[in-house]
Structure 1
């Protein structure tokens, strides 16, 4: 079992479900470590020294998460790696300068092309 512990700064944060990005983060850890189960542990202390309030969200590497990994995460990681390789190539000086000088929207378009 992989444990991901989030120390929250507000009691309200522990009452909510963890964010999607936090679930994805734990799924990445599960994949990297070859584990099937994990738990996202949220902890909050009212004051230093107090016992924490704890909420645990189990996460299993089930068919849904495996499919999401294969269909969403891996293709986006490969695309990102391709962009990095393209931008780091010696002939890509103009692309690097364009990325540095452009707006966020224009950068996104440059990277899509």
Structure 2
């Protein structure tokens, strides 16, 4: 299954916002392409304001990437449950996404290229 996953440096600068707060900006995002799914942008944790994220108990499994832990976004006005995920120990074929976070598409979350 991992032969359908491609990871590359995402071109340019990327931002993620939620509830009006900028959670992070980076020039070091990764773009993960998997089959015919939409591309997913992964942000380095070092470029994310982790104080806005609370780890949850949700864990999902992907044969091509491993186990994903999930995080809720918590700000003054709202909580967006299980809004982000991270592969803490991805399988070797996608090791580049370790220490990165991706965000689910939602009305309250904006991932965009600047």
What range is the shorter-chain TM-score in?
A: under 0.3
Specify the structure having the higher radius of gyration (Cα). Answer: 1
What is the TM-score of this pair, normalised by structure 2? 0.20
More strand by share: 2
- Structure having the higher helix fraction is 1
- Larger relative contact order (Cα-Cα within 8 Å, sequence gap ≥ 6): 2
